Structure 1
Amino acid sequence: MRIKYFCMAAFIFVGLLGCSQNDSNESELALIKTTNPSPVVIENNKENKLDLVESIKKDIESIKELYDVAIVKGEEDTLVAYKVKHLQRFHMKKIEKKMNDMLEKKYPDENFTVSSDYKIFLEAVKLNEKMEDPDYPKKKANKRLKEIIKLKNEMA
């Protein structure tokens, strides 16, 4: 009888541990759940470009095959990292072409790097978190953005 109660208590204890909430960084859970990070602008004239990246994010989110998007606007480049809904993964090339065409048509002056790779998405979320710190230097952030874009280009 004691063994039965002990097993029941252990089962409940393990169940409660599994349900506990741990408030950690978004980047740690970015691949598992929808994080919906706000767009980041790494420029000196940040106010002018904030409306632009918000507009880009709104346009990207309107694509029904996607469920999460991270946008980082640097001095020269704009990184758009996104996650595709599971059943839409068979249409990745079509989705990326549709997105590229829309972005190039609507924002011809911007230089876009578009990626559906989870690693690129995760790095964009991490950079987003670092940019929340007002002491994080813009020069370092822009350098990191270029490294992420270089990583994306090497993977392709």
Structure 2
Amino acid sequence: MCQLLLLLAIVLAGCKEADEGKGNQMSLMQATNPAPVSIGDKPKDTSTVQKVKEDVMAFDEIYDVAVVKGKKDILVAYKVKHLERFRMKDIEKNITKRLEKDFPKENFTVSSDYKIFLEAVQLKEDMKQPDFSDKQAEKRLKSIISLQKEKT
């Protein structure tokens, strides 16, 4: 009887993971549309990150954007529509030019890397926790930016 219960528990646990895998496979295709976030939440910064997100979403090739503003840097991570992936370098260059033109005083890090996008969304979620300080958020943002710069 004990062996039967153990076997049943293993089978049910195995089935649960298979369902979660399907959701993870589709996450590249689905838009999560995370709200832009500013470390420290100053009203001016909040309006800036909202405008940055709107500027990037204005590109037809883009379907999802995560924007995180720190003290000195703004991280812009985005997802490109599947058929536009052949032009990713051009898209990144165009986004960077537009952002630097519209916000000349800001320092942007722009990335189409999905891992950077996920890290930005995770940082946003972590910032909702009451025990996650602005100092921790700024440190994490800097590590995400350095991760983006070290990619080949």
Flag whether TM exceeds 0.5 (same fold): yes
Cα deviation, residue 29, structure 1 = 7.2
Distance 1:145 1:28 in 2: 26
Amino acid in structure 2 at the alignment position of 1:102 = R
Summarize the Cα distance change of 1:30–1:139 in structure 2 as closer, same or farther, 3 Å threshold.
farther
Partner of 2:36: 39
Cα deviation, residue 32, structure 1 = 4.5
Partner of 2:139: 143
Summarize the Cα distance change of 1:68–1:61 in structure 2 as closer, same or farther, 3 Å threshold.
same
Matches within 5 A, 1:111-150: 111-150=107-146
Summarize the Cα distance change of 1:98–1:83 in structure 2 as closer, same or farther, 3 Å threshold.
same
Aligned length: 132
- What is the TM-score when the length of structure 1 is the normalising length? 0.78
Amino acid in structure 2 at the alignment position of 1:36 = N
| Aligned partner of 2:73 among 72, 77, 96 | 77
Amino acid in structure 2 at the alignment position of 1:83 = K
Distance 2:26 2:142 in 1: 24
- Residue 30 of structure 1 contacts residue 125 of structure 1 at CA under 8 Å; is this kept in 2? no
| Identity score, percent | 54
Cα deviation, residue 46, structure 1 = 1.7
Distance 2:25 2:74 in 1: 23
Cα deviation, residue 93, structure 1 = 1.1
Which secondary structure state, in structure 1, belongs to the residue aligned with residue 75 of structure 2? strand
Cα deviation, residue 31, structure 1 = 3.3
Deviations 1:43-85 (A, max 9, x none): 3x62221001101111110100000000000001000000000
- What is the TM-score when the length of structure 2 is the normalising length? 0.80
* 2:114 equivalent to 1:96: no
Which secondary structure state, in structure 1, belongs to the residue aligned with residue 129 of structure 2? coil
Partner of 1:10: none
CA-based RMSD: 2.1
- Residue 30 of structure 1 contacts residue 122 of structure 1 at CA under 8 Å; is this kept in 2? no
Partner of 2:150: 154
Amino acid in structure 2 at the alignment position of 1:51 = S
* Superposed structure 1 runs of 4+ greater than 3 Å apart: 27-32
- Residue 70 of structure 1 contacts residue 82 of structure 1 at CA under 8 Å; is this kept in 2? yes
Deviations 1:77-100 (A, max 9, x none): 000000000000011111111101
Cα deviation, residue 138, structure 1 = 0.3
- Residue 41 of structure 1 contacts residue 73 of structure 1 at CA under 8 Å; is this kept in 2? yes
**What are structure 2's unaligned runs of at least 5 residues?**
1-15
- Residue 70 of structure 1 contacts residue 124 of structure 1 at CA under 8 Å; is this kept in 2? yes
